[in-house]
Amino acid sequence: MKIKGITTSKGIAFGTAFVLVKKHVDVSFKPCTDIDTAINELHIAIKKSKDQLKAIVKKTKEEIGEKESKIFNAHSLILDDPEYVKSIENIITKENVCVTYAVEQTRKMFEAMFLGMDNSYMRERAADINDVSNRLIRAVLNIEDSIDVPAGTILICEDLEPSDTAALDPAKIAGIITEKGGETSHSAIIAKSLAIPAISNVKMDSGNVVTGDKLILDAIEGVLIVNPTESELAHYQNIKDHFVKEQSVYKVGMLGRVKTLDGHEVEISANIASADHLKNILEQGADGVGLFRTEFLYMNRTSPPSVEEQYNAYKTALQAFGDKPMVIRTFDIGGDKRIDYLNLEEEMNPFLGYRAIRISLDRKELFKVQIKALLMASPYGNLKIMFPMISSIEELLQTREVIDSVRIEMEKENIPIGDYEIGMMVEIPAVAVQADKFAKYVDFFSIGTNDLLQYTVAVDRMNEKLTHLYSWYHPGLLEMIKMVANAGEKAGIWVGICGEAAADPNLLPFYVGIGIHELSMSPSKIAEIKWRLRHFNKSEMGEVVAHVLSLDTSEQVKRYLTTLEKNLQ
Amino acid sequence: MERYEFVLENEHGLHARPAGLMVETCSGYNSEVNINKGAVKVNGKSMLGVLMLAASKGDTLLIEVEGEDETDALAAIKRLIDSQFDE
């Protein structure tokens, strides 16, 4: 079983579930017998809480860091806060009630004030009020606050309060899963600084995880796997090893453009599906965006996105990347991506059917909205517009006509248009074979290996019975990729690859050897590919290409490239 | 009374840690300290008050200090602000 969440501290953890149930303390309304005694009780509890916090500050400073320890200094200051203490005292005096009820009422009041703020950072500070108030209540009731768990624990709880995080022994905690708490919560910050993988916003329906369950916490993709199979365990062990290595080795020099030892530069870009988290993608080393899948802007809604909305998304993305190239692909709807409001008919063979540019050219009004938004955004960065599923020169010409007509309308309205390139996906075998002809009409090619492979070998990649036939080491596919690269070189246009195979380190020598200019992939793969690229000579790869293309089977190609890749390290 | 106006430059504004340092500094003096953001005025010695200001990066804050040690108190507050709250 898999449960989705949001990563707050990256990593992979294997462990045993420990569901932390907070003891419910009694904070109900109870009249107090003597007001002076109650006030005195309050001040003793404040003193006790402050002593605890002093110890936590010291422990945190030693085990985590000075900066993190200051969170608890702040908690201590809340206990010194004249407004906070006065509020509790007032409730005790006016309502003649016990301390715990008065603290609870004060907690609720301040929590509501913080939750009402329009800044998410400040809203999360409600957690500080709750944490310190709960500490105070526990102090009044003499409840100890230690969390004792066995080694290798993956902790599951509704929300981990900062002082809980500090009370834990980090050596025993393999991972942390919370139902609440955002990326800037203290728990997340501390989990990050201790390098404990953590995810939050995990929806825990009653009993889907119980203490003792074996878990894999994938805090890279933000997924929790409950009672994993052997193959899942092996799969994630690989990912974990990779992640650990990446953290140290691959990070060196991942931010700039990279070259092979003999100075050949390849652009390593990211595939994205929205204008969110762009800063994070740049931090992972992306030289640009090689594929912005715009169909995601059309999904999960009831009508297509307006010009304004699309313009804003494209502009945001272009501005974030500055002069770095950004390839935005017009919508690839249809196939496996269905959209209700477009009322697409059910088809026998959706992958061979009404999809992508075929819909665009049939529903030109829908398409023009997207083209207009792209052209409006063009002055804000290094835009490259790309069309999916082009199968004939005629389609390419019709697409250009649409762009021209939108341009003319925009010029009439005096809307500024910047520079941009126009390119196409190469994902249909007929196009790969005829690439030299298509090259005359575009500024670049990007090879979509997923579709090109499934069309070339006639294998539906979703069909589990056929996975052995779906291999991107198929010599036929590689031959075709080389044809496209050659056609690009002859015509003087650049050629990229944006399918899953782009991130396969085994194929990197082949790509370099045939002169691929750009590889676009999931951002998490960039650092590794860049690191590998810096470790071989392009001049030696001609031989590799010749050898690969002399082999007869996918298996032979795979074996040769895997061995080669190991020797290159 | 001493007054000092400045623009907050911390990335997350006056959040828990910087707010704590501010309150700690203010509490070290006998003078009364008020922090103003627009029309909102809070007690500089109150942690929750300072947090409630929800002062974010780019906000202009006015500090007012009044009491026998107001000059020293303001000097200490200025040092804290100039150090970017040790961030």
Residue from B76, B65, B63 nearest B5 by CA: B63
pLDDT at A473: 96
Question: Are β-strands A444-447 and A420-426 bridged in parallel, bridged antiparallel, or unpaired?
Answer: parallel
Tell me which residue in A71, A81, A117 faces B16 most closely, judged by beta carbons: A71
Do A339 and A298 contact (CB within 8 A), yes or no? yes
Q: Does the beta-carbon distance from A83 to B15 stay under 8 Å?
A: no
Residue A374 DSSP SS3: helix
Residue A5, φ and ψ in degrees, nearest 5: -155, -170
In 3D space, the residue among A498, A528, A535 whose CA is nearest the CA of residue A516 turns out to be: A498
Active-site residue identified among B4, B6, B13, B15 = B15
A184 Cβ under 8 Å from any chain B Cβ: yes
Q: Mutate which of B51, B52, B80 to disrupt the A interface (most A C-beta within 10 Å)?
A: B51
What global pTM score does this model have?
Answer: 0.59
pLDDT for the residue numbered A41: 93
Contacts of A120 in chain B (CB under 8 A): none
pLDDT by residue for chain B (87 residues), tens only, comes to 999 999 988 877 787 678 888 998 999 999 999 999 988 899 999 888 888 888 888 899 999 999 999 999 999 999 999 888 876
Residue A67 bridge partners (DSSP): none
**Cα A479 to Cα A407: distance, rounded to the nearest angstrom:** 38
Contact A114 B51 (CB under 8 A): yes
Query: Could you write out the DSSP letters of every residue in B3-67?
Result: EEEEE---TT-S-HHHHHHHHHHHHTSSSEEEEEETTEEEETT-HHHHHHT---TT-EEEEEEES
Distances (CA, A) of A415 to A311, A373, A504: 13, 11, 42
ipTM above 0.90, yes or no: no
Q: Which residues of B touch A81 (CB under 8 A)?
A: 23, 46-49
Task: Count the alpha carbons within 13 Å of A405 in the hemisphere toward its beta carbon.
Answer: 11
Distance from CA of B30 to the nearest CA of A (A): 14
Cα A209 to Cα A226: distance, rounded to the nearest angstrom: 7
Phi/psi-derived region of residue A388, left when phi > 0, alpha when psi is between -120 and 50, beta in every other case: beta
Q: What is the pLDDT of residue A117?
A: 77
- CB neighbour list of residue A484: distance below 8 Å, 6 or more residues apart: A426, A432, A435, A445, A447, A495
Q: Burial, A113: exposed, middle or buried (Cβ in 10 Å; 0-12, 13-18, 19+)?
A: middle
- φ/ψ (deg, to 5) at B61: -120, 145
A351 Cα distance to chain centroid = 27
- Is B41 within 8 Å of chain A by CB? no
What are the pLDDT digits (tens) for A281-332?
898 899 999 999 999 899 877 889 999 999 999 999 999 999 999 999 999 9
The confidence score (pLDDT) of residue A565 equals 81
A88: Cα separation from own chain's centroid: 44
CB contact under 8 A, A81 and B54: no
pLDDT on residue A446: 98
Whole-number Cα distances in Å, A459 to A428, A451, A495: 13, 10, 25
The pLDDT of residue A187 = 67
The span from the CA of A146 to the CA of A164, in Å, is 8
pLDDT confidence of residue B70: 94
Residue of B nearest to A68 (CA): B17
CB pairs under 8 A between A and B: 61
pLDDT at residue A171, as a whole number? 81
CA dihedral angle for residue B23, residue B24, residue B29, residue B35, rounded to 10 degrees: -20
DSSP string of A245-275?
Answer: HIIIIITTT-SS-EE-TT--EEEEEEEESSS
Quote the minimal CA–CA distance from A74 to chain B in Å: 5
User: ∠ CA A335-A338-A342 to the nearest 5 degrees?
Assistant: 115
| Helix or strand (DSSP H, E) at A215 | strand A214-219
Which chain B residue is nearest to residue A116, measuring alpha carbons? B52
User: Which residues on B lie below 8 Å from A74 (Cβ)?
Assistant: 16-17, 19-20, 47
Q: How far, in Å, CA of A176 to CA of A189, rounded?
A: 12
Residue with tokens 């991506």: A337
Q: Is B12 a catalytic residue?
A: no
Please list every residue in chain A whose beta carbon sits closer than 8 Å to the beta carbon of residue B45.
82
pLDDT of residue A334: 86
Residue A404, C-beta contacts closer than 8 angstroms, at least 6 positions apart: none
Give the minimum alpha-carbon distance from A257 to chain B in angstroms, rounded to a whole number.
29
User: What is the chain B residue with the closest CA to A106?
Assistant: B48
Write out the two tokens for B87. Answer: 């961030």
CA distance A502 to A528: 12
DSSP letters along A130-197, please?
Answer: HHHHHHHHHHHHT--------TTEEEEES---HHHHHHS-TTTEEEEEESS--TTSHHHHHHHHTT--
Q: A480: exposed, middle or buried (C-beta count within 10 Å: 0-12, 13-18, 19+)?
A: buried
Q: What per-residue string of b and e applies to A154-172 under the rule 16 or more CB within 10 Å gives b?
A: bbbbebbbbbbbbbbebeb
Does the distance separating the beta carbons of A128 and B24 come in below 8 Å?
no
pLDDT, position A181: 67
Q: What are phi and psi of B42, to 5 degrees?
A: -130, 160
Determine, for residues B48 and A83 on separate chains, whether the beta-carbon distance falls below 8 Å.
yes
Q: Looking at A75, A98, A157, A186, which residue is catalytic?
A: A186
Please classify residue A329 by burial: count the beta carbons closer than 10 Å to its beta carbon, then call 0-12 exposed, 13-18 middle and 19+ buried. buried
DSSP string computed for A390-447: --SHHHHHHHHHHHHHHHHHHHHTT-----EEEEEEE-SHHHHHTHHHHTTT-SEEEE
Q: Do A77 and B47 count as a contact with CB atoms less than 8 A apart?
A: yes
**Cβ within 8 Å, pair B17-A70:** yes
Of A266, A268, A289, whose CA–CA distance to A277 is shortest? A289
Quote the pLDDT of residue A38: 93
Q: Which of A71, A78, A119 sits opposite B54 (nearest CB)?
A: A119
pLDDT at A182: 63
pLDDT in 10s for each residue of chain A, 569 residues: 888 888 888 899 999 999 887 667 788 888 988 999 999 999 999 999 999 899 888 888 877 777 778 788 888 889 989 889 999 999 999 999 999 999 999 999 999 888 887 666 677 778 888 889 999 998 998 887 667 788 899 998 887 776 676 677 778 889 999 887 666 566 676 677 677 899 988 887 767 888 899 999 999 888 999 999 999 999 999 999 888 877 778 887 788 899 999 999 999 999 988 887 788 789 889 999 999 999 989 987 788 999 999 999 999 999 999 999 999 999 999 877 778 888 888 888 888 999 999 999 999 999 999 999 999 999 999 999 999 999 999 999 999 999 999 999 999 999 999 999 999 999 999 999 999 999 999 999 999 999 999 999 999 877 778 888 999 999 999 999 999 999 999 999 999 999 889 999 999 999 999 999 999 998 878 988 999 999 889 999 999 999 999 999 999 999 999 998 877 65
CB contact under 8 A, A74 and B20: yes
Contact A121/B49, CB-based, under 8 Å?
no
